[in-house]
Structure 1
């Protein structure tokens, strides 16, 4: 894998917004203020850059200030999926959360992502609830 993983590395808001749009099929061209959000709310995050310095993957980790951390926004460029980048991002994020003193790493996912999170990344299922607020 020719990818450099960086914990709490600099994030280009436009590049991360474009990556999200490509990976999640969003037509939105709006730029999200990722740097501000990450700095203000995140325990840590991990970026994946190709040799040319292009952002090809990202994962965000938020925490409760104690034992629990939560993965958010795991994303890999559609052209690079299936190459182990997502698995490497999650493993690096888990290590970083552990380094921050967390004992548990939580993740929510859609049914079609179960093989990735359960089989490739080693998560196990638990009962959970979800309430849509908007």
Structure 2
């Protein structure tokens, strides 16, 4: 398994991975490459001998705070430490980028993964659902 900070990918493979992981139809529009290059500190691609099997986006405020978004692992690669590897590479990338904090929010079923496996700690936070 290889993990690449700001690794190359094409829109179709990230969109297919997201569609599988988050249970929605793949969009024909895409735009992942342009979007992460415009708005993100970086991203991590996990590849298993070629195919993209994991992806995480690391958005930021341009200064001290970075944010883990949409960690996703293909079903064929789950339970093999790929998600943990993605987040570890995201931590390293954010640290190398000069960030002081890396934030993540998650659904309750992912609590064990982010807090125990990836080393995040709990904080107070708020959320407003916009749609």
The TM-score, its normalising length taken from structure 2, stands at 0.96
Unaligned segments of structure 2, at least 5 residues: none
In structure 1, the residue matched to 2:68 is 71
SS of the residue corresponding to residue 72 of structure 2 reads strand
In structure 2, the residue matched to 1:33 is 31
> 1: distance between equivalents of 2:23 and 2:76?
13
In structure 2, the residue matched to 1:23 is 21
Q: String of CA shifts for 1:67-103, please: whole Å, max 9, x gaps.
A: 1110001000012111001101100110010001111
Alignment RMSD: 0.9
Give 1:106's match in structure 2, choosing from 86, 103, 107.
103
- What's the CA shift for 1:29? 2.6
Q: Work out the number of aligned pairs and report it.
A: 130
Unaligned segments of structure 1, at least 5 residues: none
State whether structure 2 residue 81 is matched by structure 1 residue 89.
Answer: no
